[in-house]
Amino acid sequence: MTYRKRIVEQLLEASSEALKRAVAPYSRFKVGASLLADDGTVLTGCNIENPSLMLSICAEKVAIVKAISEGKKNIKAIMIKSSKGDYCPPCGACRQLIAEFAPEAEIYLAGKRGIKKYTIKELLPDAFKKD
């Protein structure tokens, strides 16, 4: 098994576990995300809904914020999986967050028909930049 395949399987397993912790009583659309930092650390996130929808938070955002708060500033890969089994690309806000904090990360979407791989430049070609 190749290194990349092992990493993808590890991220898929971590996303699946994170998905179990999602709190989505309103949409019933649960999402789990995992990411790989350059030191080999895998961090996870799940979506957490709130009756005030503005306070809800995406799985990818949780994972990225955890990484940054733990000093993991070089994110190599991100995996996203939904409870519906369909591909679940990141929302616009999460795409912008990825563009800023994980611009070189491989982005994997898990679905019933396998795994798709993207770059943030494919998902958000004209991201806002610091300059």
Q: Where are the alpha helices (DSSP H) in the chain?
A: 3-20, 59-69, 92-101, 120-123
Catalytic residue among 60, 70, 104, 122: 60
66 to 22, 71, 101, 126: CA distances (angstroms): 15, 9, 12, 26
Is 13 considered catalytic here?
Answer: no
Catalytic residue list: 60
